[in-house]
Amino acid sequence: MVDQNVHAYRDDALGDFDAVALAEQIRTGAVSRREVVEAAIERTNAVNDRLNAVQMDCFEQARADTERPRGGVFSGVPTFVKDNTDVAGLPTCHGSSAFTPHPAKQNGGPAAQFLSAGFELLGKTTLPEFGLTASTEFADRPPTRNPWNLDYSVGASSGGSAALVAAGAVPIAHANDGGGSIRIPAAVNGLVGLKATRCRMLDQPGVRQLPVNLVAEGVLTRTVRDTAHYFAAAEQYRQNTVLAPIGLVEGPSDRKLRIGVVRRDLYGRLPHPEIAQVTDSAAGMLAGMGHEVSDVSLEFDERLIEDFKLYWSMFAVAMSASFKAHHGRRFRPSELDPFTKGLAHTALGNPLRIVPAVRRLRRATGTYEEQFTDFDVLLTPVLSQPTPLIGEHRPDQPFEKLFATLVDYVGFTPINNVGGGPALALPHGHLASGLPGSVQILARGGDERTLLDLAYQVEAQSPFPRITATAEM
């Protein structure tokens, strides 16, 4: 057992600032861009040997870029981009050893939108192969570990980004979410993670051509205001005019909401008692704050989870075909990890089920919106089980065993990827392991403002767990 807490906080230019405060320090000249970048590099180097969260760095380029500052609300703030997103001059590895990538020629849309806020890029972060599972672990190399306790999973697929933000190496990092991949690592690392409304942000190439677009781009942060300011900045780069703008949500209002508490997953199963206790605590707190809180059950087609599982399996086939087309002999299918191969086999073994499954998934957007007929937001767990130990989700175990474990673990997050609406993971309380607890709040499509407003209220009422306090204990 490794059993230790790892963080990088120290008395340097980064201090204990969130991204908004750090950007203000830079703007006023209290610290220089070079000082901030050097501090972030030192912090990253101090923890990464134990966390294994950096896929590749570009430290020298970051140092050079401090001499050519760019504008933006986060100008000069150091960060990382998840390594399934093209960044000019860096290869995109997608967490896989099955191909040898060339450096990207230009920024992909998500990276361009993210970096437009003025960040200083330090490198790219780890993810499990193609982002297909819920823990950043690998068949052929060491896992990425949770800085709150290195024995535990950091979540996935934005696990590397989460580890570096939670450990204090950087205050904010890029992430994306196709089945919970922003919210899961946020939940197990005590972070704020907003999965935005479908098509709110620029997407990865080809995502919008899929029968059902599950993926949303975003960030992982330690404060609600960092998340709010980031989405406002991203809209300055590109706003989806079909959706009402989020704008800048600067703090809590006194608005009282109708909140439905969802205590069972789509199979009708209760989560682990520790998870239920965290959800109960949050529901009681919200009621005490004056919100109208009542229990509600999700009303979806009972086949939704099975349809999602089949559609998720199709991703393995689609990604393998895409990489073969783009990388030719540099793509080696035999070196894909066993979980990816198992997913592909599942999809290819059920061809007649795929078309009706896709039809039902496409209807789920309307069903999702119906859940808000009597409520402004829904409160749910993020995950059905406490944070697993390293190894429980290792991708080289028998496929059927791992897939069953995954389904039992991820009982609540896929609802929003299928339904398309926004969902926000918020830290709340602790688990018996000492790791942070978390809850999820959902809103109708396009209503991120309500989620951010309520998140500010929660943060003020119940300050988020701090990794430094855990270390001191």
Catalytic residues: 82, 157, 181
Rounded distance between C-alpha atoms, residue 185 and residue 192, angstroms: 9
Q: Cis omega before residue 157 (within 30°)?
A: yes
CA distance 160 to 169: 11
Q: Which residue has the tokens 């300055």?
A: 236
Could you give the CA distance from residue 404 to residue 443 in angstroms, rounded to a whole number? 29
CB 449 within 8 A of CB 250: no
Q: In what order do the strands lie in the sheet with 172-177?
A: 172-177, 216-221, 192-195, 423-430, 436-443, 377-381, 258-262, 292-296
Q: How close are the terminal C-alpha atoms of the chain, in Å?
A: 19
Give every CB contact of residue 222 below 8 A, 6+ residues apart in sequence: 18, 165, 166, 171, 190, 191, 192, 464
Helix count and strand count (H, E) for the chain: 15, 11
The residues near 35 (Cβ < 8 Å, ≥ 6 apart) are: 12, 13
Name the phi and psi angles at 437, rounded to 5.
-90, 175
SS3 189: helix
Cβ partners under 8 Å of residue 307, min gap 6: 301, 357, 358, 360, 361
In angstroms, the CA 72 to CA 98 distance is: 37
441 - beta bridge partners? Answer: 379, 424
Secondary structure element (H or E) that encloses residue 426, with its range: strand 423-430
Residues 6+ apart with CB under 8 A from 118: 23, 69, 70, 71, 72, 73, 74, 75, 76, 77
